[in-house]
Amino acid sequence: MAERRVVITGLGAVTPLGVGVEQTWSALCRGESGVGPITRFEASEYDSRIAGEVKGFDPKDYIPAKDIKKMDTFIQYALAASIMAVEDARLKVDKAEVHRAGVLVGSGIGGLPAVERCHEAVLAGGPRKLTPFFIPMLIVNLAAGQISIRFGFKGPNYAIVTACATGNHCIGEAYRCIKRGDADVMVAGGTESVIISLAVGGFSAMKALSTRNDAPARASRPFDKGRDGFVMGEGAGIMILEDLEYARMRGAKIYAEIVGFGMSGDAYHIASPDPSGEGAMRSMNNCLEDAGVTPREVDYINAHGTSTPFGDKIETKAIKHVFGDHAYKLKISSTKSMIGHLLGAAGGVEAIVCALSIAREIVTPTINYENPDPDCDLDYVPNKALEMPVNLALSNSFGFGGTNATLLFKKFED
């Protein structure tokens, strides 16, 4: 039996640059920033007072009013992006086949805003003030659960939680679900919404966030010498993955093919990457080996590129180790320069960017790249999008706890 091929047929996104894939993509290509002052809470006493907040999202556009109160924002974003992706794919699964359609959508943190709100309610009025929806609002797998319920998909239904690598792990495992025959269709990606006092305060206490509060749009500057930390973002990135034969059968349009998935662990530190870059190297090498391609065949890398002083340097080191001289010919960019770090949703949105880079032959830029860093000396597509054919695009995501995940996307050839 020939190995099953897995293709991308639908995309959905909610990001700080817009509600919808086209709005987000066009802004990315223009090099716009979605970062601004925090409006969700009074942030004047916080070290970092900037974030990539989603604007203009109305859950009532996607979710019945009676159900909205059952979902924290990360679930609402995931459900909205899934509805967009299903519509984009024109996906209609026959009732006899719903057990062959599944959902694998995760979040790095989940319903922390619900925890904060409900804790305040208990302190103010006692346990009777708790909503019965408190637990279903906060647990991570309820994003996948609500998507499954919405569409009646009865195949694999679960969530992966690996901090900032969540989106890549979910898409990678969904790809494997289809390859090994557990499903024909998977809704996959990541979602996050934790721009609240508790989360911003926690990341600030770790000294992880940029404090360039006077210039929010210029704060996220991956690979630039002046980078001082990441900028928190929020949103969701969801893909429809299908077995190629299933997609062919229903005449689906195809954005790109997923051909590789690699993982590794640093076993080094709870929050800092291994200085040698060895974990990131193995993740990329494992992905290339899974795809059966050589490093020299890769055209573009959507980097993890968070804008932290240490992380960007280590990722650059790892890329040079894996790709050798070809590293200097690669185009590399960080979507986070424009939307901030979407944590568990980052990999989902960045996978969409890779698929569209292949389909539309445009590489989105790394904005705010002004001062070259001797330790980051590759081509990061500075400040302006680049039109070029992209046959193979690789996407890196690395998370707290030393967890690494890499995906490889390819131009579809029938």
Sign of CA dihedral 234, 235, 239, 240: positive
169 is catalytic: no
Sign of CA dihedral 57, 62, 67, 70: negative
Given a contact cutoff of 8 angstroms between Cβ atoms, the answer to whether 248 and 227 are in contact is no
Annotated catalytic residue within 169, 170, 341, 376: 341
Helix 197-205 × helix 112-125 angle, to 10° = 110
164 is catalytic: yes
> Which residue blocks in 90-129 are alpha helix, DSSP H?
112-125
C-alpha–C-alpha distance, residues 262 and 287, integer Å: 4
Annotated catalytic residue within 29, 118, 164, 170: 164
What is the H or E stretch that residue 410 is in? strand 403-410
Given a contact cutoff of 8 angstroms between Cβ atoms, the answer to whether 296 and 326 are in contact is yes
C-alpha–C-alpha distance, residues 289 and 105, integer Å: 25
Sign of CA dihedral 149, 87, 9, 404: negative
* Tokens 């208990």 found at: 122
304 is catalytic: yes
Task: Give first-to-last CA distance, the chain, whole Å.
Answer: 18
Could you tell me which residues are beta bridge partners of residue 238? Answer: 12, 189
Which residue type is seen at 166?
A: T
CA atoms lying within 13 Å on the CB side of residue 393: 31
Annotated catalytic residue within 29, 177, 287, 304: 304
Question: So which residues are the catalytic ones?
Answer: 164, 304, 341
